[in-house]
Amino acid sequence: MRLPKSRREPKIGVFSAALALMLAPTHAEAQAFACTAPGRIPVPHPETPPRGEPARNPRIAGYLLAMSWSPQRCASAANPRKAADRFQCSGENGRFGFVLHGLWPEAEGPAYPQWCRPAKIVPTSVLRRHMCMTPSAQLLQHEWAKHGTCMSPNPAAYFRAAGILFGAVRFPDMKGLAARPQTADSVRAAFASVNPGVRASMIAVATDRKGWLTEVRICLGPRMRPQRCKPFQAGAGDRAAVRIVPPPR
């Protein structure tokens, strides 16, 4: 069956590869943190829409590349050695800076696509390949079920595209940023300064209730190229104070 033009699957591999060429990081600009995938990958449980989150499949008008600041996640964890956070936070398998929360399809308004298809369990080989990008098998399953199924029928293709995009991002000196008072605007400016072709207006910053940095998100257009964030994507306001947990040593 040939889908109407507005509902066809995006060629996510082609678009993400094009962005990677524009933003390809040098070795010195990549995150210098180590990670070794665990010998045994936990099998995630199926993810289905919780009550109050209906399946919806509006036309995809863009994407968000959401990157979480791992030191904040681990600093706020009640017990970093519990199963849910052990791989990411215990230091046994690696040290993490920014990790990929997800690649999210967006609509023209805030009612973004979600839960578009029933989601099978992501194959272990795919989980293992991406555990150092998103250090939680259950989060990988969640991202596939809620967001990836709206972009591709194949989890390997979805995570491959997400990995290309995440691997193309350059990161500022987070240790230096953590040592001085910041605002959402200064964090956006720091990211824009090391990513040619990306302006501060294309970057959103998210914080928790106490102002600690939780995520940085890059707004992408329908062909996965950076674009100005829409008002509902913008995150913290320019003057919002941002505190940053220092990166691991």
- For the question of residue 45 being annotated catalytic, the response is no
Give Rg (Cα) of the chain: 17
Residue tagged active-site, from 101, 130, 142, 215: 101
Greatest C-alpha distance within the chain = 56
CB neighbours of residue 65 within 10 Å: 24
- Per residue, what are the HEC states of 22-80? HHCCCHHHCCCCCECCCCCCCCCCCCCCCCCCCCECCCCCEEEEEEEEHHHHHHHCCCC
Nearest to 106 by CA among 165, 142, 57: 57
- For the question of residue 53 being annotated catalytic, the response is no
In sequence order, the 6+-apart residues with CB closer than 8 A to the CB of 36 are 93, 94, 132
**Which stretches of 98-248 are assigned E, i.e. beta strand?**
98-106, 182-183, 203-207, 213-220, 241-242
Residue tagged active-site, from 47, 106, 142, 147: 147
- For the question of residue 143 being annotated catalytic, the response is yes
Residue tagged active-site, from 47, 106, 130, 143: 143
Which residues belong to the active site?
A: 101, 143, 147
